[in-house]
Chain A
C-alpha cells in the first residue's frame, strides 16, 4: 500500500547499520569459506537435501542456538537501556522493536526449534524406529521454519522490525497505528514457520502412534516420548488457530478487511482472544517436552525408574486439556465481569495440581536414588526449586482480583521468565548436554559445562528476582525509560548485572562446544551415561539407519533391563533396510515460500503471485513423483556395524 511511510533499508540507526555490516561480512566469509574448502557439494548432499531425522534435528538446534544469540542480544540491550533511569542507549522506537523481536524470537524461533530439534533427534530412536513417518515432510517442516526465521530476522535491516509487542494486539498492530511493514513481517513469517510446525505435529503424532518397536505399548513408552506425543496433539489443535488469526491479520493490514478494526463491525478484542487461544497452549508446547527431558535425566542420574509413571502421564494429559480453557487469564483486565474471571481463575489454578504431582514425582524419584551431579542433572535439579517459584507466582497471577495489580507489570515479566527459563531453557540445555554424545559420539566437557551452569543459574536469579519487587512497586513492562524519582534504578541495575552474567554463561556454553569438538575424548560405547531407554542401545554416533535390527521391547526402560539381565534386545539375522531418499525439493519449495513471503510483506503483488504459483508447481511435481526409497544391503549394514565397533 502506498501509505506505508517506510524506508527500505534502515540506515538511520548506527547499531542496526553495524549489525547489517557484520551480517554481510559474516555471510560473505561463510560463503568464501565454503567455496574455498569445496564444501558446497557436501552441504547439499549431506544437510540441505537430507531427510534423516537426526540431521534435521541438528539443523533445528543450530538455528535455535543462533536465535538464542540474537534474542539474547535483544535482551541485553533492553536490560542495558533500563539499567539506569533516563538512559539514552536506545530510543523508544528501537526499544519497542527490540522487546517485540525478543519475545517472538525466544518463543517461536528459539524455544520451539530447540524443542523440535531434540524431538527430531531423540523420538524415533527412543521408540526404536528408523526415521519419522513422513521423512520428506519433515524436511519441508524444517525448511519452512528456517525461511520463516530468515524472513523475520531480515526485518530489522530491510523495512523495519515489528514494534507492537510479541502479542501484536489490535488496534495497535493495525495499519493505522503501525504503518511500517514490521507487522506484515510478523504475520507472514510466523505463518510460514507455523505451517512447518503444524506439519511436524502431524508427522510426530503418526510416528509415535504407528512406528513404535514391537512390544512397546503406549504405557511402556519413555516419558520423553509421552511428552512429545501430547505436545504434538496440542500443536495440531492450537496451531490452526494461529494460522487463522495471522491470515486475518494479513487481510486487515494488506487487503483492507476489518476483522479487528475499531469500526464497521470489527472487534479488537477478537485478536486478543484468538492470539491467546493459541498462545496459552503454546506455552505448554514448550514446557511439556521439558518435563519429558527432566524425567529422562532425573531417572538416569538417580539410577532409578521414574516414580509414579502412570500419574506422570495422566497429569500431562490433564495439563494439555486445561491448557485450552485458560486463555482469558491473559486479559482479566478487559472487563468481562466477575463470573468469567472467576471461571478462568479456577481453571488456571487447577493447572497447578497436575504440575505439583509432577514435582512430587520427581522428588520421589530422587528418593532412595544414587544421585550423580552431571551437567544435565545439575540443570534438571536446579529446575525444581526455581520453576516452583515460577509456578507459585503463576497461581498468584491466576487470582483475577490480584491480577488487576500484577497485569502488565514487571511482576508478570518475572513470573514468565521464572517459568520459561528453568522450564524450557534449562531443559533444552540439559537435553543438549545429555543427548550430544548420542549424535556426535563424544561428551561435552563436564568442567566447562558445570561452570556455565553456575553462571547461568545464579545470574538468572539475579536478573529476574528483582523484577518481582519492581512489579509490586508499580513498574510496568515495555517502558523504555523511567524517571529517577520512581526509585526503580538500583534493582534494574542489579537485573542488568544478572543479564550480563547470563550472557557470560552462554558464552562459556558455546566455548565448551568448541573445546569439546577439539579435545573431548571420543566415546566408543554409545551409552556414556549408563542410561535407560532405547536410544542408548545403538551406536553413538548413530548410523543413518538407527538400528541394524529393530529391538524387541518387553519393559519400560527396556535398555536398562536388557543391560541388567543381560538379555539381548535383538534376535534374528540382519535384514536389508529400507530407507527414504534425499530430496532437494523441500529446500527449493521453501525458497519459493521465502520469495512469496518477502514480496507479500511489501505488497509486491506480481512477484508474490509468481512465487506462489511456483509453490504449487513444487507440490504438483511431488504428487507425480515416484519415489519408493532404497534398500541398504545386508553386507553394507554388516560393514557399517563392524566399523562402528561391533554389531548392536
Chain B
C-alpha cells in the first residue's frame, strides 16, 4: 500500500511541476470578468473536493493500516455489525449540506455568466455574430458592417455579446480565457456574454467534434484597446473587399481557408436563424412564405461534406 501512495504522490508532484513551470493553466488564468467568475468557482470547488478526499483518505488509510489480517492475530473473529443510524444520518446530512452549498454557488455563478459581465451592466454590448461552417468560423460585426473569417478582434473594457449558430454539425464556441463555451447550432441562435480586461491574443476554438477538420478549427481572439480597435475597423472598411452572396456561398463550401476580412457582412443576404424562431427551433412549419429565407443557413447545399476519398 505504501508503494502505491509514494507513486501516487510522485505523479501528483510531477503533474503539478509540469503544469507550474509553464504558463498557468488556461482555464485558471482568466482575462475577463466572466472567465474570472468561472475560474473562482472552479478553484473553490477544487478546495471543497480536496476536503472531501482528505476525509475519505484518512478513514481509508486508518482502516487499512489498523485492521489488516496480519495485525489482527490468528483467533480474531470480526464482530457482526448491523450499521448505525447515527452514523448513517451524519454521512447523509453532511453531503446534503455540501450539495446545498454548491448548488447555491452554481445557480449564482451560472446566472452571472449568462448575463452581461459584472461592472458592464449599463454599457451597450458589442454584438458579434459567430457562425461555424466546416471547418471555419465567420465573424460578423453588424454595428461596424465588417466581417472576418477565423479571427476576431474585440475592444477591451467593453461587453461583447457573441451570437452563435452553425451551418451544419453542432459546434461549440470557446475562448477559455474570456468565457465558457456554448453550442452553435443550425436551428437557432445561442448567446455568450464576455468582456476582456486585458489586451492580448487568446486561443479560441470549436470544442465540439464535427468531423474531419475539427482539430484545426481554431481561431485567434485578439483583445485590443478601443483606439487600436477603431483603427483596425477603419482599416478593414477601407481596404477589404465587399462580401457578396456568391463569395459567401463559395466560402461556405470551402473546407479550410485562412484568415479573411470583408467590408460587409453576410447577415443581409444570409440571415442568422433568429427572430421568429429564436429559442424555439424549427417549430411548426418553417417553410412558409414569410420566413422561408430565414432557414437559409441550414438549407445551404453541401455537395462535398466532410468525407473525402
Contacts and interface: CB of A to CB of B under 8 A. Distances in A.
B104 to A, nearest CB: 10
B56 A385 contact: yes
B67 A333 contact: no
Nearest to A354: B92
A329 to B, nearest CB: 11
Contact of B83 (A310, A363, A382): A310
A265 B309 contact: no
A353 B92 contact: yes
A472 B18 contact: no
A385 B62 CA distance: 13
A382 to B, nearest CB: 8
A474 B11 contact: no
Given A368-B81, A388-B53, A392-B53, A267 B187 contact: yes
Given A396-B49, A478-B209, A172 B169 contact: yes
Given A169-B170, A408-B207, A399 B180 contact: no
B36 to A, nearest CB: 12
A392 B52 contact: yes
Contacts of A504: none
A305 B176 CA distance: 49
A176 B305 contact: yes
Contacts of A473: 19, 25-27
A471 B109 CA distance: 20
A474 B203 contact: yes
A177 interface: yes
B18 A490 contact: yes
A281 to B, nearest CB: 21
Contact of B78 (A176, A302, A361, A393): A302
B215 interface: yes
A479 B56 contact: no
Given A345-B103, A360-B87, A304 B282 contact: no
B183 A334 contact: yes
Interface string A476-509: 1111111000010011001000000000000000
A180 B309 CA distance: 11
A407 B176 CA distance: 11
A331 B172 CA distance: 11
A310 B285 CA distance: 54
B235 to A, nearest CB: 27
Contacts of B106: 342, 345-346, 349, 398-402
A620 interface: no
Contacts of B23: 487
Interface residues of B, number: 106
Contacts of B19: 469, 473, 491
A407 B207 CA distance: 8
Interface in A233-280: 262-269, 272
Given A350-B99, A465-B11, A472 B215 contact: no
B69 A372 contact: yes
Interface in A352-394: 352-353, 356-357, 359-361, 363-364, 366-373, 381-382, 384-385, 388-389, 392-393
A327 to B, nearest CB: 16
Contacts of A353: 92, 95-96, 99
Contact of B307 (A178, A268, A309): A178
B136 to A, nearest CB: 15
Contacts of B210: 172
B213 to A, nearest CB: 7
Contacts of A366: 63-64, 67
Contact of B169 (A169, A302, A338, A478): A169
B214 interface: yes
B42 A402 contact: yes
A405 B109 contact: no
Contacts of A359: 56
Contact of A265 (B35, B57, B208, B285): B285
5 contacts: A178-B307, A308-B88, A372-B69, A389-B53, A401-B180
Interface of B: 3-4, 7-8, 11-12, 14-15, 18-19, 22-23, 25-28, 35, 37-39, 41-42, 45-46, 49, 52-53, 56-57, 59-60, 63-64, 67-69, 72, 76-84, 87-88, 91-92, 95-96, 99, 102-103, 105-107, 109-114, 168-170, 172, 174, 176, 179-183, 185-187, 190-191, 203, 205, 207-215, 281-282, 284-287, 295, 298-299, 302, 305-309
For the complex of A and B, list the 3 residue pairs with the smallest distance between their C-beta atoms, beginning with the closest.
A404-B180, A335-B190, A308-B83
Given A402-B38, A465-B15, 6 more contacts: A92-B215, A272-B170, A337-B114, A404-B179, A474-B27, A490-B18
